[in-house]
Amino acid sequence: MDYSYPFSIDWSTDEIIDVVAFFEGIEMAYEKGIKRQDLLARYRRFKEIVPSIAEEKTYFREFEEESGYASFPAIKDMKTKSDDEIIKIKK
């Protein structure tokens, strides 16, 4: 991947790592699929770091502009699937 991940300079190193892991989960949802539970855990941690919906939308938009991967479809699919299912988004 030849792009950067969105983050805030106010975050700790661990928070940056966790946010990058979340966006890597979004990438996996498009490329090969990711277990719903794995993406859910990454999303919950992301929401601990970015609780504001407005900020979330900003980071989602920045990530999509950089990577071409929209986060919202993966999150929407994650919320509708059962625990054992795989999230796989068609581009």
pLDDT 10s digits, 6-25 = 999 999 999 999 999 999 99
* CA geometry: angle 78, 59, 81, nearest 5 deg: 0
Domains (range + CATH), the chain: 13-81 (1.10.220.80)
| Whether the Cβ atoms of residue 42 and residue 22 lie closer than 8 Å to each other | yes
| Whether the Cβ atoms of residue 89 and residue 35 lie closer than 8 Å to each other | no
Q: Identify which of 8, 14, 44, 42 has the alpha carbon closest to the alpha carbon of residue 27.
A: 42
The pTM for the full model equals 0.93
- Is a pLDDT exceeding 70 seen at residue 74? yes
Residue 47's pLDDT band, with cuts at 50, 70 and 90, is very high
